Amino acid sequence: MKKIILSVILLSLFFMPVMANAQGLVPCGNSPDGSDACTINDFFIMLGRIFNFVLTWIVTPLATLMLIIGGLMILASAGNPGLAGKGKQTLIWAIVGMALAFGAWIIINFILGALGYTGAWNIL
């Protein structure tokens, strides 16, 4: 139980500054008088910003952390095949997760390019 509470506290401390960087994801509707109304174009701009935010500020640091943890598990295994196998699986799944995240970025970029979109949605 103490491990779970400590993990939640550490993750919340990790995500607090990250969530401060989330401001500005919505490109419209910020004026109090309603003159800056949202359109469908703003919705797609917001989706691109959310995708870039998740990829830059959440996926990459967590995958890096998991790569470090997996490597440390392998180093600390001291001949224990169970711990070495768990560290290897951690490394493999961290690499798979990063490949899926960046693969999604490549697929979206390819589809938008094939449709003729020349905007800068993919600025990381």
Where residue 36 falls among pLDDT bands split at 50, 70, 90? confident
DSSP 65: H
**CA 60, CA 28: separation in Å to the nearest integer?**
28
**CA 26, CA 34: separation in Å to the nearest integer?**
14
**CA 111, CA 120: separation in Å to the nearest integer?**
14
Alpha-helix runs per DSSP H in 21-80:
40-54, 60-76
Q: Which two tokens stand for residue 88?
A: 């290897």
Q: What is the pLDDT of residues 43-94, one digit of tens each?
A: 877 888 888 888 888 898 889 999 999 999 999 998 899 999 999 999 999 9
Q: Which two tokens stand for residue 75?
A: 């180093």
Q: What is the pLDDT of residues 96-121, one digit of tens each?
A: 999 999 898 889 888 888 888 777 76
Whether residue 124 has pLDDT greater than 60: no
Residues in the chain: 124
Half-sphere exposure of residue 29: CA atoms within 13 angstroms, side-chain side: 10
Q: Does the pTM of the predicted model rise above 0.75?
A: no
